[in-house]
Amino acid sequence: QVQLVESGGGLVQPGESLRLSCAASGFTFKIYRMAWYRQAPGKQRELVASISTPGSTDVSDSVKGRFTISSDNAKNMVSLQMNSLKPEDTAVYYCMVTIGRSYWGQGTQVTVSS
């Protein structure tokens, strides 16, 4: 079955960096578009970035120039490099893939605070 497991979240200060990873299994990773979403307290879940083969990426305007999405087909993994983090980036970050329906990981907490 489809499984997505996120890791790499934590507590950082403004301006610092984090790298999130999503380990995928149960499907042919390289043929599906993968995405990162986030949900802050009291807000709707929003799309942060997505990537598809052969490496076409898209990032939201709110993180453009700071976040980079990448994938490793050999490891069935998608990553989100987050630089110059801001307090407003604080959220639970989720990995997602759509295969008939949407599959979500359990999420990883990112907190940006001084």
User: What's the residue count for the chain?
Assistant: 114
Average pLDDT over residues 45-50: 97
Q: Which residues contact 110 (CB under 8 A, 6 or more apart)?
A: 9, 10, 12, 18, 20, 38, 82, 85, 89, 90, 91, 92, 93
Give the C-alpha separation, 96 to 52, whole Å: 12
pLDDT in tens, 51-62: 986 679 999 999
pLDDT of 9 above 90: yes
Average pLDDT over residues 3-21: 97
Q: What percent of the chain has pLDDT over 90?
A: 86
Q: Which residues pair with 99 in a beta bridge?
A: 101
**Beta-carbon count within 10 A of 37 CB:** 22
